[in-house]
Amino acid sequence: METLNTYLAMRVTDNQMKMSDVILNCDMIEAKLANLKTDKSPGLDQLHPRVLYELRNIVSYPLLLIFRKSLSSGILPLDWKLAKS
């Protein structure tokens, strides 16, 4: 399975990506949350990475719904545009 970053980078590079073409699932989100650096400070959302890491199995589905809604509407929150990866 491709990682989310690889998948998105490939689609953007090909200049054929539409936000509605992005396919996400809970496993992809959990994998990203499992790789968080838990010793870092909270980001713009003021959530400590340790919280997201520890609750990744619980928050992955609600996050999936939020991401899918954003992708299907074609609207990204401003904070997402400003966030560092």
In this predicted model, what pLDDT tens digit does every residue of 46-79 receive, in sequence order?
899 999 999 999 999 999 999 888 888 877 777 6
Q: Which of 32, 31, 35, 51 is nearest to 43 (CA)?
A: 51
- Give the domain range for residue 50: 4-82
Higher pLDDT: 73 or 19? It is 73
Higher pLDDT: 60 or 14? It is 60
Q: How many domains does the chain have?
A: 1
Distance between CA atoms of residues 26 and 61, nearest Å:
6
Q: Which pLDDT band, with edges at 50, 70 and 90, does 33 fall under?
A: very high
Predicted TM-score (pTM) of the model is 0.70
Q: How far is CA 38 from CA 6, 31, 68, in A?
A: 23, 14, 26
